[in-house]
C-alpha cells in the first residue's frame, strides 16, 4: 500500500483525468509498492472502489493505459490478477497552496459551459449592480418632485382666473384621486333635455320638436280551446287504456304470440280480409275466393 502515490493521484487536475479515472487510479496506487510501483488491485476491489460495472471498469483502466498514467505489465486471466505499474514516466509532485490557488482562480474565471462560450470576448466589470423596479421608481419620484414644486405656485392661480372656479373641491387624504363633490354652477352647463338625433330635427327651425308618441301594438292573446263536452273523458278512457296496453306489448317475437291479443301486423291483415268478404253469400275470404272462381268459370252473358 502506497499512501504517497494515492495522494499524488488525488491531486491531479480535472483537465487531466475525470472523476471515475481518478478513483480507479487511486485504487491502483493504493495497491502499489513504494519501490517498484507494481500493483495487483484485482477486479473485485477495483470495481467496488470505483462503483461501476465490470465492463466499465475495464474501459477506465484501458483509458489510463492510453494516457500513460498506468502501464500494464501482465494481462489478467481467470484466477490470476493483472499487474500494473503506476506512473511509468515519473511520479509528479504534490501541488503547493499557491499552485492550488492559481488553479482555482483559473477555474472560477472559466465559463461554466465551454461549448456556449464566445472566444476572445473581454467584458468589463459593471460599476454597480443592475437596477431593480424600486430603483426606477425612486428615480422617477426624484425627477418629478422639483417640477411639481415649481408648478404648484404658478399654474394653480392661473387656472382659477381662466375658468372662474375660485372654490376648488376637496380631494382625498393624500391630495390625489377624484374630488369629493361637483364644482358649484356645474348643473347650469348641462341641458335639461337630452339632445335629439339629427334626423328628427326640422330643417326650417332651430328648436327641436317633441318626439311623436308611437302607440304600442296590441299583443294578440292566444285563443283558448273550448272545454270538452261532458262524458268526453269517459268515452276516451277505454281507447287510451287499450292503446297503452298494446304499446306495452311487444309487436313481434315469441312473446307477442303468447298473448291473446294480436299484434299490429295481424290486426291489419284481419281488417283487409273483412273488407274482401263476398257480397252475395256474405262468407269470409275463403268463400269470396270460391264465389269469384265460380263466377269466372260461368259463361259470359251477352247483352248485359
pLDDT reading at 196 higher than 70: no
Q: Residue 20's pLDDT is what?
A: 92
| 188-197 contacts, C-beta under 8 A, 24 or more apart | none
DSSP strand pairing (83-86 vs 38-39): antiparallel
φ, ψ for residue 184 (rounded to 5)?
-70, 145
- Residue 200 vs residues 22, 65, 140, 157, 196: alpha-carbon distances, Å: 97, 104, 53, 44, 7
pLDDT reading at 90 higher than 60: yes
Q: Considering only residues 20 and 1, tell me which one the structure prediction assigns the higher pLDDT.
A: 20
Considering 147-151, 164-168, 202-206, 262-266, the range whose residues carry the highest mean pLDDT is 147-151
Residue from 38, 28, 31 nearest 83 by CA: 38
Taking the alpha carbons at both ends of the chain, their separation in whole angstroms is 144
pLDDT reading at 188 higher than 60: yes
Query: Is 0.85 surpassed by the pTM of this model?
Result: no
Q: Residue 249's pLDDT is what?
A: 58
Q: Residue 235's pLDDT is what?
A: 55
pLDDT reading at 304 higher than 50: no
Q: Residue 207's pLDDT is what?
A: 53
Which cell is 299 given?
Answer: 259463361
State the Cα–Cα distance between residues 198 and 259, nearest whole angstrom: 81
Report residue 294's pLDDT band, with 50, 70 and 90 as the boundaries: low
* Per-residue H/E/C for the chain: CCHHHHHHHHCCCCCCCCHHHHHHHHHHHHCECCCCCEECCCHHHHHHHHCCCHHHHHHHHHHHHHHCCEEEEECCECCECCEEEECCCCCCCCCCHHHHHHHHHHHHHCCCCCCCCCCCCCCCCCCCCCCCHHHHHHHHHHHHHHHHHHHHHHHHHHHHHHHCCCCCCCCCCCCCCCCCCCCCCCHHHCCCCCCCCHHHCCCCCCCCCCCCCCCCCCCCCCCCCCCCCCCHHHHHHHHHHHHHHHHHCCCCCHHHHHCCCCCHHHHHHHHHHHHCCCCCCCCCHHHHHHHHHHHHHCCCCCCC
Report residue 87's pLDDT band, with 50, 70 and 90 as the boundaries: very high
> What residues are paired with 83 via a beta bridge?
74
Span 206-258, pLDDT tens digits:
555 555 555 555 556 667 666 666 655 555 556 666 666 666 555 566 555 55
pLDDT reading at 266 higher than 80: no
Span 21-57, pLDDT tens digits:
999 999 999 988 888 889 988 898 899 999 999 999 9
Q: Residue 55's pLDDT is what?
A: 92
Chain mean pLDDT for the chain? 73
State the Cα–Cα distance between residues 14 and 71, nearest whole angstrom: 21
pLDDT reading at 64 higher than 90: yes
Domain range annotation of the chain: 3-91, 266-304
CATH architecture of structural domain 3-91: Orthogonal Bundle (1.10)
State the Cα–Cα distance between residues 118 and 94, nearest whole angstrom: 34
User: What is the distance of C-alpha 107 from the center of its chain?
Assistant: 42
Which cell is 5 given?
Answer: 502515490
> What residues are paired with 32 via a beta bridge?
39
pLDDT reading at 11 higher than 90: yes
State the Cα–Cα distance between residues 169 and 146, nearest whole angstrom: 25
Instruction: Report the pLDDT averaged over residues 127-132.
Output: 87
Q: What percent of the chain has pLDDT over 70?
A: 49
Amino acid at each position: 500500500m502506497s499512501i504517497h502515490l494515492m495522494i499524488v493521484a488525488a491531486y491531479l487536475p480535472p483537465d487531466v483525468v475525470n472523476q471515475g479515472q481518478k478513483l480507479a487510479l487511486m485504487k491502483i496506487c493504493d495497491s502499489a509498492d513504494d519501490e517498484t510501483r507494481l500493483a495487483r488491485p484485482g477486479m473485485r476491489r477495483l470495481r467496488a472502489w470505483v462503483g461501476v460495472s465490470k465492463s466499465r471498469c475495464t474501459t477506465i483502466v484501458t483509458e489510463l493505459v492510453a494516457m500513460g498514467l498506468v502501464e500494464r505489465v501482465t494481462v489478467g486471466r481467470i484466477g490470476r490478477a493483472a499487474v500494473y505499474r503506476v506512473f511509468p514516466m515519473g511520479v509528479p509532485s504534490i501541488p503547493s497552496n499557491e499552485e492550488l490557488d492559481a488553479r482555482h482562480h483559473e477555474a472560477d474565471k472559466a465559463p461554466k459551459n465551454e461549448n456556449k462560450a464566445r472566444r476572445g470576448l473581454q467584458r468589463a466589470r459593471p460599476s454597480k449592480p443592475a437596477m431593480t423596479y424600486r430603483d426606477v421608481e425612486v428615480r422617477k419620484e426624484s425627477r418629478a418632485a422639483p417640477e411639481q414644486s415649481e408648478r404648484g405656485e404658478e399654474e394653480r392661480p392661473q387656472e382659477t382666473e381662466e375658468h372662474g372656479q375660485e372654490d376648488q373641491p376637496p380631494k382625498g387624504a393624500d391630495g390625489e384621486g377624484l374630488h369629493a363633490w361637483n364644482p358649484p354652477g356645474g348643473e347650469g352647463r348641462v341641458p335639461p333635455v337630452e339632445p335629439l338625433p339629427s334626423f328628427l330635427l326640422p330643417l326650417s327651425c332651430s328648436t327641436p320638436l317633441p318626439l311623436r308618441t308611437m302607440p304600442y301594438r296590441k299583443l294578440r292573446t292566444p285563443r283558448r280551446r273550448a272545454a270538452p263536452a261532458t262524458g268526453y273523458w269517459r268515452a276516451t278512457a277505454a281507447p287510451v287504456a287499450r292503446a297503452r296496453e298494446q304499446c306495452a306489448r311487444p309487436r313481434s317475437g315469441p312473446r307477442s304470440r303468447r298473448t291473446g291479443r294480436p299484434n299490429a301486423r295481424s290486426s291489419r291483415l284481419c281488417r283487409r280480409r273483412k273488407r274482401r268478404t263476398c257480397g252475395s253469400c256474405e262468407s269470409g275470404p275463403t268463400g269470396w275466393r270460391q264465389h269469384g272462381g265460380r263466377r269466372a268459370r260461368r259463361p259470359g252473358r251477352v247483352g248485359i
